[in-house]
């Protein structure tokens, strides 16, 4: 086994209590947890748009491309999440006190 693999395995073992917390939630909630890092998602989508162009003629052309991509990406942020009613019910089980606080 390579040294990097050993380091990764040791890290998982040393931090298992924190990592295992993730697995106590149903798959629908886990999907939201690991897919809702908005900044990472936004950066990934910008890279996808700019990757097809290797050179921009001017800095302004790059800014325009990013602006237009941001407008398109923003539309997705306001769409409803598939299966939200079921997910909200599951969240209510795990986080009842927090949801009641905000009257969801």
Residue 13 covered by a domain? no
Q: What is the pLDDT of residue 81?
A: 73
Residue 20 covered by a domain? no
Residue 104: closest CA among 88, 90, 81, 80: 88
For residue 47, is pLDDT > 80? yes
Residue 35 covered by a domain? yes
Residue 83 covered by a domain? yes
Residue 3 covered by a domain? no
Cβ neighbours for 71, distance < 8 A, ≥ 6 positions apart: none
pLDDT digits (tens, 9 = 90+) for 68-92: 999 988 887 776 777 888 888 888 8
pTM for the model stands at 0.45
1 band by pLDDT with thresholds 50, 70 and 90? low
Residue 90 covered by a domain? yes
Question: Domain of 96?
Answer: 25-102
Domain count, the chain: 1
Residue 66 covered by a domain? yes
């Amino acid at each position: 086994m390579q040294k990097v693999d050993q380091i990764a395995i040791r890290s998982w073992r040393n931090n298992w209590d924190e990592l295992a917390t993730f697995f106590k939630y149903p798959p629908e909630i886990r999907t939201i947890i690991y897919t809702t890092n908005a900044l990472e998602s936004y950066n990934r989508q910008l890279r996808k748009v700019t990757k097809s162009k290797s050179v921009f003629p001017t800095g302004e052309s790059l800014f325009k491309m990013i602006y237009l991509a941001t407008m398109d990406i923003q539309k997705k942020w306001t769409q409803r999440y598939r299966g939200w009613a079921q997910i909200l019910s599951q969240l209510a089980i795990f986080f009842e006190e927090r949801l009641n606080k905000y009257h969801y």
